[in-house]
């Protein structure tokens, strides 16, 4: 092993214990001054009120002044109606000493305004309506109740935990100036003596230390916090990224959930600790109503969760009596700086809220098909020969593989945009060898820039002042993979442009337009920084403190990268994988759950975490198959592949200290189990691709928790070891060691315990019963069911890469419901370019009923393809048809029908994808 | 179906362009695309109903459904020329080169897999490269055959030499056995002589001692050692204090790879601190008393000066109770004896840090025991002196025999070890034992000493890291094509290093590449004439030719 690596390892060792995360490296709420301060309000409450006579109403909004009755500081309040049952609530200081940060770039654009009508304005209460929704604003104490169809679904500040620290001058007699503080403004200050009611006496208000790190806090206390109650809900979920259950747990007696993008070494599961991403959207779900809140704030944020652990009896009583005797679930968002900017998503159904959130922050755009196929990664594939031989081995063992990945060691000393000339003397040849087989390459490009005067990128960033600055205006210097490193200030549009231009093929000449991107370490990770990230008093473009924008840093990095790839080849859809993410980052990149562990509990959390991410906008989510740290045994690796194929992003990856784990290095049986799993993934690619198109089209997540489609089934709320792929597949992978059966929950569709029919995708055996069912499994079994009533498109021919399947024929799997009906959709295009946005696409709905399958095109089918329908499988027919006939343009032709155990196959309909047809089953 | 006007219907053509029968001059037997000549007879329609049965016998289908781009047979046998069946095989004839079966998944995927292009439709336009490839392959085979032939000549020399060495070893082994027997007899004899002489000696000395009882044999040791220690320490201090600030700091120690106590290739802060008595830095005085005693053994070890005492030698020293026997050192004082015992532990690199501190108060204490040279034997009377002299001679004689026995046993052991290493079927590898070969890449110099060890040394200096010690031959199926070296230095946070040597034929022995595909698992590519086997190569080539 290399000496440099040793050094890095030692540096790591300085921060961490050998065994799992060292929680001591990360703050608790008690160690964070603003969290202490904001949380304190939970016992005392606050006193805010609207100032009578300040109300102004407009077509889509209203404004008023708000006052803190204790210190008389005034705030500007604005409530805006948006299209699609959404309200936006903003509170800022009326006259702040300096502007307070408002999040930019998270929303996909200016939200579309709705309209309001003031229904009633009495002293102390204003009632407005917007379509079928209603907001009741109470003046004193300040509170807003949001009604969806006259049902109270969200209540803002019902607990009076609104807490807004106005900017203030530092009192002179307070703690001595921190060393090196030459802020003129502060020395001129202190003319005002704070009123007693206004005093913030927390010792961390004006400067704060954590471990050996000092935070100078030149602007003092500036926290904002607000509570949201969900009276119609029973559970809360959302606010990724945490390695925790799908349903949020009460934080009573624990730390709040923390949203602060951090590089956590060997993170632990079942934890509310912050991880790499922060998406401050939360949902409250009950049997009848679902609502959400998007708290748009990029500063460090803690979220307290109040839920009452209700049992079945008490909830039944509540249901019968129509009242509840426990307080509704509530969330208390506490952010270190910025303003109150909250979007209230009124549902009413889970899918409505997901779509309302997607309407604000966008979706991942339709990815290239290859990125939905199998990715093979490792830290590191050592050299060109290594890459070539691993690729060849996949062919030798007939395991499909689309993309090889290169981690940091391919670079010349961690100088991004360069190659190690010894290990990779001919990158273009290596890339060509891959792309000629239909494969792709992804290389890592991290945001830390090696401070080396001989490195062009560092030189230019230094000369042009592109780096993030310290308080004193110097380039900030941290420590990361390259050693001493600085960090481009991606908040500056000029820096983003410059960064994007680096990807131009005449600039980055050692890659091609088929080489895609991995942005890691972009929290940002700083090995010697506080909590392994950047100090909060760094200064960004626009003179904003890092404190204000921390959770957006990775997002801004992605914007630069995405623009770079798009400019490099405007007609190819970029693929980027990112670790750090914020609300809206899904528009630019896929995510993975970071540096997990080869452990069964981490395998289980891959589903929980991706489900939460999916409802928070990040459908394109996966976990390192096999686990990043540690060495999985055969069984764990097999099960991990089987699980990984049913998450949207499917990549095997491993730490440099682990043993090699390419499938052929395991016993033959394991290799075959893995091969079967990967082949299964490839066979379902048409479904995944369709689901991603429909995500872009509608905002509906690709993978979904059961409650999405079974909202009234209380038993299903907390199920997070199963997932739905759209509404078509129910997946319950085996994620425990040494089991021969698993318990699967089949959700109910009504209160009479009726459920959908579900067909085992391997045998077509039908589950007609809802509730828990114990299902036997062997090592090859991946328990997956197709919903009766759905049609799933597949491609059952094997290829070595997904790109080579473009012209292969389709198989339609039709599983019938109780009425003998089924419906489904298929999307296809060139799988690579943006031509689909010019209509070069085929989006088709299939419907089966009364023994006949027909198709309907959504829009005109303008994409030209050689693909055709090779086979139709029908499960759930009462009788076996003797034959079938296909009719196209009035011309009919007889087809053979083959009987299998529990299904029939219509042999070779042979219809092309862009024609209208009908296939009728014949019973003689 | 043919009558339906395929294009208007939107139905795809049933018979794809590829699925025509092969009936050209290349192959006399007409057969479906993708079927080898050998299997041609299996693809004949049943006379009469024109049906055909899947090769696994599972189903009968119309012969027209063979290669109709739809998979009807579970074993994929009905679609030898299309990609329709997941388990299918496509036979490339590759006339002019080597025929090959490829998986059906590679048929019509837009990539030319067969050199004759038969796996893709005309549209893809695969060039037929079989003749060129065939010619190139033939050239390569000839070159390889030539290499093996010439290499085999060299190998013959190696075999001759190896066999000769083996014969020499065997002869030597026999000779040693004989000598061993002789020496055993001799030892018994000398043992007896020694016992007799010592009995006489003891008697004489007892008498003499009784006479001398009043004479006080008070002794002390010189304090020379501590002074020498301080001098060494100062020199070392100056070497370490690279920034010349009068202190030795943690970072200054971290560059000395001798201090890498766990031999993981790096001196960690903790390791460095250990030598500084857990402090950040030490001045000269503190260094002399606290640091040097800990560093010295490692420094000596590195310079090869420090030889851990052999257990039997220690025993021997303790046995010797009488002065005047020339090769043995003076009787150690009690403290020194303890120290000697502790040095043994230290030599195992697991020494406790306190040992030298314990010694500390003794260093420089004035009334130490007298120096070696100053020890004068008691003035024995002539008769006693004569008996002592005789006893000494008897002891020496026995010692001589025992040493000779040890030498014989050692040599026997070495020969047996060599015999068990496995120098190949015909001893062709024997000459490599004792040789070492180097390979340099950008960062490291790798060394392979066959049958001994593989190691790595940074080009920028530092100690050698053992990647593995000789373990065994592991080639499959050819045993002598791969060697394994195991139990090398442990990796930080990882396993012990190990190395696998892939062996191929060449005219001169050399390492051609070294890689580390798995962390701490090294692969050497090693070439040697020992691996050249003309006959085996010919046999393989003919085998291949038969398939052609």
> Both A566 and A630 in a single domain?
yes
What pLDDT is recorded for position A183?
A: 45
> Both A80 and A49 in a single domain?
yes
The count of other CB atoms within 10 Å of the CB of residue B373 is 8
A499 pLDDT more than 80: yes
Q: Is residue A538 in some structural domain?
A: no
What pLDDT is recorded for position A321?
A: 53
- The total number of structural domains in chain A stands at 3
Find the range with the poorest average confidence among A2-16, A99-113, B86-100: A2-16
What pLDDT is recorded for position B130?
A: 95
CA distance A404 to A381: 9
> Both A781 and A855 in a single domain?
yes
Find the range with the poorest average confidence among A13-27, A850-864, B18-32, B223-237: B18-32
Q: Is residue B187 in some structural domain?
A: no
H/E element, B163: helix B130-211
Find the range with the poorest average confidence among A298-312, A790-804, A809-823, A855-869: A298-312
Question: Strand A440-444's sheet: what is its strand order?
Answer: A621-622, A590-592, A576-578, A515-519, A440-444, A403-406, A374-376, A650-652, A624-625
- Full residue range of the structural domain in which residue B527 is found: 434-539
Which chain B residues contact residue A912 at CB under 8 A?
10-12
Rounded to an integer, the average pLDDT of A192-213 is: 79
> Both A290 and A309 in a single domain?
yes
Last residue of one domain, picked from the residues B101, B128, B155: B128
Last residue of one domain, picked from the residues B73, B96, B128: B128
> Both B356 and B233 in a single domain?
yes
> Both A338 and A385 in a single domain?
no
Cβ-defined contact of A660 to B517 (cutoff 8 Å): yes
> Both A681 and A714 in a single domain?
no
pLDDT in tens, A217-245: 999 999 999 999 999 999 999 999 999 99
> Both B27 and B112 in a single domain?
yes
Q: Which residues contact B178 (CB under 8 A, 6 or more apart)?
A: none
> Both B350 and B468 in a single domain?
no
Rounded to an integer, the average pLDDT of A812-830 is: 98
Rounded to an integer, the average pLDDT of A695-714 is: 98
Tokens of A127: 């009632």
B-proximal residues of A, 776-835, CB under 8 Å: 796-800, 804, 808-809
Q: What CATH number does the domain containing A141 carry? A: 2.60.40.1760
Q: How far is B10 from chain A (nearest CA, A)?
A: 5
Last residue of one domain, picked from the residues A637, A669, A698: A698
Q: Is residue A500 in some structural domain?
A: yes
> Both B233 and B358 in a single domain?
yes
3-state SS class at B68: coil
> Both B257 and B354 in a single domain?
yes
Q: Is residue B244 in some structural domain?
A: yes
Length of chain A: 924
End-to-end CA distance of chain B: 41
CA distance B519 to A320: 64
Which contacts of A392-395 are long-range, i.e. CB under 8 A and separated by 24 or more positions? A393/A662, A393/A664, A394/A800, A395/A437, A395/A800
* Percent of chain A predicted with pLDDT > 90: 90
Cβ-defined contact of B109 to A796 (cutoff 8 Å): no
- Full residue range of the structural domain in which residue A625 is found: 369-446+491-523+546-698
Residue among A520, A537, A548, A829 flagged as catalytic? A520
A912 pLDDT more than 50: yes
* pLDDT category of residue A811 using cuts at 50, 70 and 90: very high
> Both B357 and B441 in a single domain?
no
> Both A809 and A895 in a single domain?
yes
Cβ-defined contact of B5 to A891 (cutoff 8 Å): yes
Q: Is residue A25 in some structural domain?
A: no
Does ipTM exceed 0.85?
yes
CA distance B537 to B541: 6
> Both A404 and A292 in a single domain?
no
pLDDT in tens, B469-508: 999 999 988 899 999 999 999 987 778 999 999 999 999 9
pLDDT in tens, A569-598: 999 999 999 999 999 999 999 999 999 999
Pairing mode of beta strands B521-528, B498-505: parallel
Residue with more model confidence, B59 or B544: B59
Tell me B289's DSSP state: I
Which chain A residues contact residue B268 at CB under 8 A?
10, 13
> Both A564 and A654 in a single domain?
yes
Tell me A655's DSSP state: -
- The total number of structural domains in chain B stands at 3
> Both B7 and B117 in a single domain?
yes
CA distance B328 to B316: 9
CA distance A600 to A238: 23
> Both B6 and B113 in a single domain?
yes
CB A333 within 8 A of CB A679: no
> Both B18 and B123 in a single domain?
yes
> Both B345 and B250 in a single domain?
yes
Q: Is residue A20 in some structural domain?
A: no
Q: Which of A294, A38, A280, A332 is nearest to A159 (CA)?
A: A332
3-state SS class at B103: strand
- The CA-based angle A593-A598-A601, given to 5 degrees, is 75
What pLDDT is recorded for position B377?
A: 66
Q: What CATH number does the domain containing B510 carry? A: 2.70.130.10
Q: Which of A361, A416, A281 is nearest to A586 (CA)?
A: A361
What pLDDT is recorded for position B277?
A: 80
A-proximal residues of B, 59-98, CB under 8 Å: 68-70, 83-84, 86
What pLDDT is recorded for position B376?
A: 64
Of B86, B517, B519, the CB nearest to A386: B517
Q: Is residue B262 in some structural domain?
A: yes
Q: Which of A532, A164, A197 is nearest to A335 (CA)?
A: A164
Chain A, nearest residue to B513 by Cα:
A385
A520 is catalytic: yes
A538 pLDDT more than 80: yes
> Both A683 and A710 in a single domain?
no
> Both A507 and A556 in a single domain?
yes
Rounded to an integer, the average pLDDT of B527-534 is: 91
The pTM of this model reads: 0.82
Rounded to an integer, the average pLDDT of A401-423 is: 97
Q: Is residue A893 in some structural domain?
A: yes
Does the beta carbon of B111 lie under 8 angstroms from any beta carbon of chain A? yes
B342 pLDDT more than 60: no
What pLDDT is recorded for position A394?
A: 98
> Both B90 and B6 in a single domain?
yes
> Both A789 and A652 in a single domain?
no
Return the residue in B8, B12, B267 with the most chain A beta carbons within 10 A, the one to mutate for interface testing. Answer: B12
Burial B497-527 (b: 16+ CB within 10 A, else e): bbbbbbbebbeebebeebbbbbbbbbbbebb
CB B43 within 8 A of CB B31: yes
Last residue of one domain, picked from the residues A638, A673, A698: A698
Report phi then psi at A33, rounded to 5. -55, -50
Q: Is residue A333 in some structural domain?
A: yes
Q: Is residue B210 in some structural domain?
A: no
> Both B345 and B265 in a single domain?
yes
Of A658, A659, A910, the CB nearest to B12: A910
Q: Is residue A208 in some structural domain?
A: no
What pLDDT is recorded for position B371?
A: 46
Q: What CATH number does the domain containing A792 carry? A: 2.60.40.1180
Rounded to an integer, the average pLDDT of A700-723 is: 97
Residue among A215, A304, A402, A595 flagged as catalytic? A595
Q: Which residues contact B394 (CB under 8 A, 6 or more apart)?
A: B190, B193, B194, B196, B197, B198
pLDDT in tens, A112-156: 999 999 998 887 899 999 999 999 999 999 999 999 999 999 999
Last residue of one domain, picked from the residues B362, B387, B403: B362
CA distance A578 to A594: 9
B337 pLDDT more than 90: no
Last residue of one domain, picked from the residues A351, A385, A408: A351
A158 pLDDT more than 80: yes
Q: Is residue A532 in some structural domain?
A: no
A595 is catalytic: yes
């Amino acid at each position: 092993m290399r000496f440099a690596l040793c050094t890095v390892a030692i540096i790591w060792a300085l921060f961490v214990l050998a065994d799992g995360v060292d929680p001591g490296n990360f703050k608790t709420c008690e160690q964070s001054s603003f969290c202490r301060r904001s949380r304190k309000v939970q016992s005392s409450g606050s006193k805010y009120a609207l100032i009578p006579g300040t109300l102004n109403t407009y077509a889509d909004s209203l404004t008023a002044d708000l006052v803190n009755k204790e210190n008389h500081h005034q705030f500007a309040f604005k409530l805006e109606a948006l299209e699609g049952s959404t309200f936006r609530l903003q509170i800022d200081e009326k006259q702040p000493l300096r502007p307070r940060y408002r999040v930019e770039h998270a929303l996909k654009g200016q939200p579309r305004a709705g309209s309001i009508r003031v229904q009633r304005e009495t002293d102390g209460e204003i009632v407005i309506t917007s379509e079928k929704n209603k907001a009741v604003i109470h003046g004193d104490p300040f509170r807003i109740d949001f009604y969806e169809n006259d049902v109270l679904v969200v209540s803002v500040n019902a607990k009076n935990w609104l807490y807004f620290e106005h900017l203030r001058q530092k009192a002179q007699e307070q703690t001595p100036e921190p060393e090196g503080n030459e802020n003129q403004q502060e020395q001129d200050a202190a003319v005002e003596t704070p009123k007693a009611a206004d005093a913030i006496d927390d010792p961390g208000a004006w400067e704060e230390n954590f471990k050996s790190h000092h935070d100078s806090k030149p602007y003092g206390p500036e926290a904002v916090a607000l509570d949201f109650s969900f009276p119609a809900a029973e559970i809360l979920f959302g606010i990724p990224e945490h390695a925790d259950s799908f349903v949020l747990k009460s934080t009573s007696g624990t730390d709040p959930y923390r949203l602060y993008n951090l590089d956590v070494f060997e993170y632990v599961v079942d934890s509310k600790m912050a991880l790499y991403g922060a998406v401050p959207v939360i949902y409250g779900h009950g049997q009848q109503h679902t609502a959400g809140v998007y708290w748009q704030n990029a500063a460090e944020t803690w979220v307290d969760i109040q839920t009452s652990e209700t049992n079945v009896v008490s909830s039944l009583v509540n249901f019968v009596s129509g009242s509840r005797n426990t307080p509704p679930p509530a969330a208390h968002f506490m952010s270190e700086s910025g303003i109150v900017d909250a979007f209230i998503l009124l549902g009413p159904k889970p899918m409505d809220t997901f779509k309302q959130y997607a309407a604000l922050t966008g979706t991942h755009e339709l990815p290239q098909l290859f990125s939905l196929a199998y990715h093979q990664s490792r830290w590191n594939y050592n050299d060109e020969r290594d890459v070539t031989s691993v690729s060849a081995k996949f062919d030798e063992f007939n395991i499909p593989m689309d993309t090889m990945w290169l981690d940091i060691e391919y670079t010349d000393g961690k100088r991004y945009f360069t190659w190690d000339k010894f290990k990779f003397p001919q990158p273009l040849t290596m890339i060509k060898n891959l792309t000629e087989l239909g494969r792709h390459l992804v290389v890592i490009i991290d945001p830390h820039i090696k401070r080396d005067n001989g490195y062009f990128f560092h030189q230019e960033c230094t000369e042009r002042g592109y780096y993030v600055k310290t308080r004193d205006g110097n380039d900030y210097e941290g420590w990361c993979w390259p050693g001493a490193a600085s960090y481009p200030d991606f908040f500056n549009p000029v820096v983003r442009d410059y960064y994007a231009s680096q990807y131009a093929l005449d600039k980055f000449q050692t890659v091609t337009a088929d080489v895609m991107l991995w942005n890691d370490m972009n929290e940002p990770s700083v090995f010697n920084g506080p909590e392994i990230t950047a100090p909060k008093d760094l200064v960004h473009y626009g003179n904003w403190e890092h404190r204000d924008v921390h959770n957006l840093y990775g997002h801004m990095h992605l914007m630069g990268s995405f623009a770079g790839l798009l400019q490099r080849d405007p007609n190819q859809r970029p693929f980027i994988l990112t670790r750090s993410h914020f609300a809206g980052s899904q528009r630019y990149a896929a995510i993975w759950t970071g540096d997990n562990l080869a452990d069964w509990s981490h395998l289980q959390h891959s589903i929980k975490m991706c489900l939460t991410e999916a409802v928070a906008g990040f459908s394109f989510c996966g976990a390192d198959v096999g686990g990043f740290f540690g060495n999985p045994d055969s069984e764990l690796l097999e099960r991990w592949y089987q699980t990984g194929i049913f998450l949207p992003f499917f990549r095997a990856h491993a730490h440099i200290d682990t043993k090699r784990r390419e499938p052929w290095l395991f016993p033959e049986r394991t290799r075959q189990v893995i091969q079967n799993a990967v082949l299964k993934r490839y066979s379902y690619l048409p479904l995944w691709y369709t689901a991603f198109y429909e995500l872009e089209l509608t905002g509906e997540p690709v993978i979904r928790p059961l409650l999405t489609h079974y909202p009234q089934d209380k038993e299903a709320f907390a199920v997070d070891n199963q997932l739905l792929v759209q509404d078509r597949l129910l997946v319950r992978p085996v994620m425990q060691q040494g089991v021969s059966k698993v318990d699967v929950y089949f959700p109910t569709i009504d209160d009479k315990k009726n459920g959908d029919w579900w067909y085992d995708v391997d045998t077509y055996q039908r589950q007609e019963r809802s509730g828990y069912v114990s299902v036997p499994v062997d090592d090859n079994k991946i328990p997956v069911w197709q919903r009766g009533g759905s049609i799933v498109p597949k491609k059952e021919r094997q290829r070595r890469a997904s790109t080579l399947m473009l012209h292969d024929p389709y198989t339609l799997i039709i599983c019938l419901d109780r009425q003998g009906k089924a419906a489904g959709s298929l999307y296809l295009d060139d799988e690579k370019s943006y031509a689909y946005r010019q209509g070069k696409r085929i989006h088709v709905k299939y419907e089966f009923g009364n023994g006949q399958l027909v198709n309907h095109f959504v829009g005109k089918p303008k994409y030209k393809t050689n693909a055709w329908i090779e086979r139709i499988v029908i499960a759930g027919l009462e009788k076996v048809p003797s034959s079938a006939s296909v009719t196209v343009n009035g011309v009919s032709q007889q087809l053979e029908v083959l009987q299998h155990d529990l299904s029939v196959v219509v042999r070779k309909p042979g219809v092309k994808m862009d024609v209208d047809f009908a296939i009728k089953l014949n019973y003689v | 179906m043919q009558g339906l006007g395929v294009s208007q219907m939107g139905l795809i053509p049933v018979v794809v362009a590829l699925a025509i029968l092969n009936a050209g001059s290349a192959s006399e037997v007409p057969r479906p695309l993708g079927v080898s000549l050998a299997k041609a007879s299996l693809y004949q329609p049943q006379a009469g109903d024109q049906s055909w049965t899947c090769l696994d016998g599972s189903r009968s289908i119309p012969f027209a459904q063979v290669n109709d781009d739809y998979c009807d047979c579970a074993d994929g046998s009905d679609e030898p020329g299309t990609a329709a069946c997941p388990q299918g095989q496509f036979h490339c004839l590759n006339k002019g080169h080597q025929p090959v079966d490829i998986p059906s998944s590679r048929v019509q995927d837009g990539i030319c897999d067969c050199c004759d292009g038969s796996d893709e439709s005309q549209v893809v336009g695969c060039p037929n490269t079989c003749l060129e490839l065939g010619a190139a392959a033939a050239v390569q085979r000839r070159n390889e055959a030539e290499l093996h032939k010439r290499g085999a000549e060299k190998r013959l020399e190696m075999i001759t030499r190896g066999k000769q060495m083996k014969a020499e070893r065997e002869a030597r082994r026999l000779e040693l056995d004989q000598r061993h027997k002789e020496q055993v007899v001799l030892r018994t004899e000398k043992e007896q002589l020694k016992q007799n002489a010592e009995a006489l000696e003891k008697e004489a000395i007892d008498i003499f001692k009784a006479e001398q009882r009043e004479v006080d044999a008070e002794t002390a040791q010189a304090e020379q050692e501590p002074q020498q220690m301080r001098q060494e320490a100062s020199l070392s201090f100056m070497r370490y204090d690279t920034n010349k600030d009068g202190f030795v700091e943690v970072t200054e120690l971290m560059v000395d790879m001798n201090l890498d106590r766990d031999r993981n290739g790096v001196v960690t802060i903790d390791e460095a601190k250990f030598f500084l008595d857990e402090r950040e830095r030490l001045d000269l005085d503190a260094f002399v008393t606290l640091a040097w005693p800990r560093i010295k053994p490692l420094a000596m070890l590195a310079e090869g000066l420090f030889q851990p005492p052999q257990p039997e030698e220690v025993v021997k020293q303790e046995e010797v109770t009488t002065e005047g026997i020339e090769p043995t050192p003076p009787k150690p004082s009690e403290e020194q004896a303890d120290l000697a015992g502790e040095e043994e532990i230290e030599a195992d690199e697991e020494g406790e840090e306190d040992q030298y501190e314990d010694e500390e108060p003794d260093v420089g204490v004035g009334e130490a025991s007298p120096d070696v040279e100053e020890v004068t034997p008691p003035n024995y009377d002539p008769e006693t002196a004569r008996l002592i002299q005789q006893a000494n001679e008897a002891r020496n004689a026995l010692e001589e025999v025992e040493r000779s026995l040890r030498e014989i046993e050692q040599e026997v052991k070495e020969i047996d070890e060599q015999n068990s290493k496995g120098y190949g079927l015909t001893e062709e590898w024997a000459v490599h034992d004792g040789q070492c070969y180097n390979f340099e890449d950008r960062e490291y110099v790798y060394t392979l000493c066959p049958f001994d060890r593989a190691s790595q040394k940074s080009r920028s200096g530092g100690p050698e890291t053992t990647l593995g010690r000789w373990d065994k031959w592991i080639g499959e199926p050819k045993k002598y094509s791969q060697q394994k070296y195991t139990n090398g230095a442990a990796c930080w946070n990882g396993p012990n290093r190990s190395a696998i040597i892939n062996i191929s034929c060449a005219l001169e022995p050399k390492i051609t590449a070294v890689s580390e595909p798995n962390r701490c698992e090294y692969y050497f590519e090693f070439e040697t004439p020992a691996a050249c086997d003309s006959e085996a190569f010919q046999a393989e080539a003919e085998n291949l030719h038969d398939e052609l």
